[in-house]
Amino acid sequence: QTVQNGSFTFSAPSNIALVKYWGKKENQVPANPSVSFTLNDCKTVTTLNFEKKNNNSEFSFDFLFEGQPKDSFRPKIEKFFERVEVYLPFLKEYHFSINTQNTFPHSSGIASSASGMAALAINLMSLERLLNPEMTDAYFYQKASFLARLGSGSACRSIKGSVVVWGEHAEIEGSSDLFGVEFPATVHNVFKTYQDTILLVDKGEKQVSSTLGHDLMHGHPYAERRFAQAHENLSALKKALVEGDVDTFIKITESEALTLHAMMMTSQPYFILMKPNTLQIINAIWKFRQETQLPVCFTLDAGANVHVLYPENVSAEVLQFITSELLGYCQNSQYICDKIGTGAQPL
């Protein structure tokens, strides 16, 4: 089948890891399995226009971010195209216009690599499907996740599903190092509508890129123990997610967040990505939990912002606590209310 031109638009969400991915092998293979909640509102919307061209000798694309050309992004896309070309052999046959925007505030410290690479990957996969219309839906989503992984590891968890596992694990049926899979067991109702309120503590550029961070796990003194721990935590979290065991969920989720930062603090060179206000917020959450016994906990990404996680049925109390006690620790009192979502969508 030949296709001259056309366009697709997809949104793809960000995701927040519960068991963290930190450390990788060759070809974007993770050193340990991870699991995340897919977000609903923090997403990237990308339109991919494509037009057949005559000269097939090199990649050809324009890139617009929020309507403006953004040259700093071109090398990332170029590198992504190089990595995926063997899996998408048509890439050099088209000129692409990639037009992308994020629903979350620009440079909020929320990583857009997961949502951005997932949105680009699923758009390209849609062209692949147009050229090969016989493919199944299962193949389409699996390969979209496979491609997204080659853009940014955690992006493979932003394609499909609410709870997504990436990385081989003995107790997760169908799990793979090459793509994300939907959590294979039924998640307890309490987790199906989980809320994630993101407190924007520091909106500055990351001090350490995740590429560098993953590399620092090579030769890290605690690497092997950490990778084993991620397997143990995933087993325990799987059980908690199925049984609705919120206490275990809290213990594992918070410990994973602190472990991620502990790995950065104990690498060479070492980094502290938390800010004083990150710790203020963590302590305030612990005090609030102690006093109210409400099941609210935190997690962190590779930065200073805090994700506050809690079940929907305690939203009123938790939001009251956040707005009255935590916003003073946020830059310009900024926060984003998000919740668990379902993955990428065509628009």
Q: Within 13 Å and on the Cβ side, how many CA atoms surround 321? A: 21
- Dist CA 272 CA 261 (whole Å): 7
Q: Does 210 bind ligand PMV (CB under 6 A)?
A: yes
**Nearest distance in Å: CB 260, ligand PMV:** 6
Q: Does 152 bind ligand PMV (CB under 6 A)?
A: yes
Residue 153 or 311: the one with the smaller Cβ distance to ligand PMV is 153
Looking at residues 22 to 81 of the shown chain, list those that interact with ligand PMV (rule: CB under 6 A). Answer: 22, 34
Which contacts (CB < 8 Å, 24+ apart) does range 133-142 have?
Answer: 133/1, 142/179
Site string for ligand PMV, 107-146 (x = CB under 6 A): ------xx--------------------------------
Beta bridge partners of 34: 166
Looking at residues 10 to 29 of the shown chain, list those that interact with ligand PMV (rule: CB under 6 A). Answer: 17, 20-22
Phi-psi region of 66 (alpha: psi -120 to 50; beta: other; left: phi over 0): left
**Nearest distance in Å: CB 318, ligand PMV:** 23
Q: Does 200 bind ligand PMV (CB under 6 A)?
A: no
Measured between alpha carbons, how far is residue 149 from residues 33, 156, 193 in Å? 13, 5, 26
DSSP string for residues in 147-158: HHHHH-GGGGGG
- Dist CA 95 CA 55 (whole Å): 10
**Nearest distance in Å: CB 19, ligand PMV:** 8
Q: Report the residue from 302, 318, 326, 344 that binds ligand PMV according to the rule CB under 6 A.
A: 302
User: Is the distance from CB of 25 to CB of 149 less than 8 angstroms?
Assistant: no
Q: Report the residue from 13, 109, 116, 153 that binds ligand PMV according to the rule CB under 6 A.
A: 153
**Ramachandran angles phi, psi of 269, nearest 5°:** -70, 165
Residue 113 or 176: the one with the smaller Cβ distance to ligand PMV is 113
In 3D space, the residue among 183, 198, 210 whose CA is nearest the CA of residue 117 turns out to be 210
Looking at residues 229 to 288 of the shown chain, list those that interact with ligand PMV (rule: CB under 6 A). Answer: 260
Residue 49 or 299: the one with the smaller Cβ distance to ligand PMV is 299
Q: Report the residue from 102, 142, 154, 197 that binds ligand PMV according to the rule CB under 6 A.
A: 154
| Binding positions for ligand PMV, rule: CB under 6 A | 17, 20-22, 34, 113-114, 152-154, 210, 260, 301-302
